[in-house]
Amino acid sequence: MAYRVLVTDDVDPEGLALLAAETELLVDEVPTLPKDELLRRIGDYDAIVGRSATKISAELLRAAKKLRVVGRAGVGVDNIALDVATELGVAIINAPAGNTVAVAELFFGTVIGLLRQLPAAALSMQNGVWDRSKLMGRELKGKTLGIVGLGRIGSEVAMRAHAFGMTVVAFDPYIADERFTALRVRRAASLDALIAESNILTMHVPLNDETRGMIGKRELGRLPARSIVVNMARGGIVDEAALLAALEADQLRGAVLDVFTAEPLVADSPLRTAPNLLLTPHLGANTVEAQRNVSRDVCLAVRDALLHNDLSKSINVAGGSGEWGDLQPAMLVARRAAAVARAVLADQGMRAVRRLALRIGPDLAHGAGPLLAAAAAGVLEGVIETDRLNLINARSLAEARGLELSVGESNELGHPRAIEIALAGGMQQLAVAGVAPEDSKPRLTRIGQFHVDVNPRQTLLILTNHDVPGVIGRVGTLLGERKVNIAEYHQARLAQGGDALAAISVDGAVSEETRKALLELPDVLTASVAHFGAE
């Protein structure tokens, strides 16, 4: 099966060649498309790869009936309707690391340019002038650099700032003290405290509700006199009108903006003529090296998502780390154990599951997010009407139906790679457990109190019966007569002569008629069927 990939914007060819090399991928490269044309064409594609110029709106995502993956050749995903993508099960993949150094270098290039008046100097030389006295500059050495956001770019800026002899202070409540220490950066107690001592204040945070307008009139007024403000993160983090007013009032030494609330910046924007404002047209990531890096990173991840269902690079699959391949068998157990628990409870009359509690052994703790998503998908499989139930949207779809989800690590499951799903609703509860060893096939090991040992393949039939002679034979004969091939038959009992449970793995489907016929057999008490979706 071939997948179609639409590439918009200017994505570096090195990454695109990796996509084009795959016979199962058909790549169409187009320039940045007008909104309406993109809307018209998107329905044909399984994936779209682009940069910040292409807006992946809710409307576009809803029109993209085949879309499985959005690849963003860069960091910021503020051009993508992330919630809608998650709801629809569309993977969002970005390239978070490849352009970090490019932004950090542009920071020093522009700040030094501003401090040494390089744009004015270059212009004066072009105009035949030789006036050195007007072009007196300032040094970075000894100045205090205040960094808001000590993530990838903030860290690279901090490291380089030491080489210039600057004092480096940062505000980032989400970063641990150890990271500050490792970077030799002093932690500011608050944003206000950082602002109060920053000769140069630079923003390296994502744009979100917390950071929009973070630096406004009040904050600009609290900077030391003649400070510099830099925004290379996203337009809107520094309030443009307040910045303009502060520059016009000569309250600041200057500012650098690489990003704008509306891009491209309109030709007659007052920012273009503001004093001491150095503007660049969103050039942070515009180096040959950075574009090659992000293009390769995103294209490899899009390829793996489409061809190998590897969603480990997808930012909307919650909280997975480590090897995706290593988690696959455990995700299969989680999904199938949940489907078994749901099927058995449904036959006991409990259809409205209210709680799903996942417990995992310590060796699977790194995969808690994807495993919980897999379990949620197992509960919803065959129950909800959607053509795109997957690891991306399973949790949000389950929660939207009022299902409470929880996950915890446990040493009491008997195996470091064990998985237990407990479903509950009303007074009823059922736990189904399994293991996903590294060196053998995944197995279901417990259904309720019964210990079983069965590989959950296409369909699992779960029977309870009186533990009396002849039941296994009668069940086997009935299934044989109905051409249902048994792959594994595992009988478990709690005590001789009491109740017993059979976990029967069969090839193909088991019809409702066959299930009812099984219930008619002497000594069979219940019969449940869990049909598993595609792996």
Ligand X SMILES: O=C(O)CC[C@@H](O)C(=O)O
Interface residue list for ligand X (CB under 6 A): 51-52, 74-76, 99, 284-285
Site for ligand NAD in 276-335 (CB under 6 A): 282, 284-285
Q: How many CB atoms lie within 10 A of CB 152?
A: 17
- Pick one of 60, 101, 175, 257: the residue that binds ligand NAD (CB under 6 A): 175
- 61 near ligand NAD (CB under 6 A): no
- The whole-angstrom separation of Cα 484 and Cα 521 is 16
Please state the closest distance from residue 31 (CB atom) to ligand X, in A. 14
Please state the closest distance from residue 286 (CB atom) to ligand NAD, in A. 7
- 160 near ligand NAD (CB under 6 A): no
Selected range binding ligand NAD among 27-35, 207-215, 219-227, 466-474, rule: CB under 6 A: 207-215
Q: How far is CA 90 from CA 64, 85, 104, 386, in A?
A: 10, 5, 32, 13
Q: Which of 344, 417, 347 is nearest to 378 (CA)?
A: 344
Binding mask 502-531 toward ligand NAD (x if CB under 6 A, else -) reads ------------------------------
Could you say which of ligand X, ligand NAD, none residue 258 binds, taking C-beta under 5 to 8 angstroms by partner kind? ligand NAD
Question: For residue 119, is the peptide bond before it cis, meaning its omega torsion is within 30 degrees of 0?
Answer: no
Could you say which of ligand NAD, ligand X, none residue 51 binds, taking C-beta under 5 to 8 angstroms by partner kind? ligand X
Return all residues near 139 (Cβ < 8 A) that are at least 6 apart: 115
- The whole-angstrom separation of Cα 162 and Cα 160 is 5
Radius of gyration of the chain (CA): 30
- Pick one of 128, 132, 163, 174: the residue that binds ligand NAD (CB under 6 A): 174
Binding mask 86-125 toward ligand NAD (x if CB under 6 A, else -) reads ----------x--xx--x----------------------
- The whole-angstrom separation of Cα 397 and Cα 529 is 23
Q: Are 139 and 161 a contacting pair, CB within 8 Å?
A: no
Q: Which is nearer to ligand X, 152 or 474 (CB)?
A: 152
β 200-203/228-231 pair status? parallel
Annotation marks residue 234 as catalytic? yes
Q: How many CB atoms lie within 10 A of CB 343?
A: 21
- 258 near ligand NAD (CB under 6 A): yes
| Sequence letter at residue 173 | P
- 209 near ligand NAD (CB under 6 A): no
Classified as helix, coil or strand, 139 is coil
Catalytic residue chosen out of the listed positions 263, 289, 409, 488: 263
Annotation marks residue 451 as catalytic? no
Annotation marks residue 366 as catalytic? no
Query: Tokens at residue 265, please?
Result: 């910046």
Active-site positions read 234, 263, 282
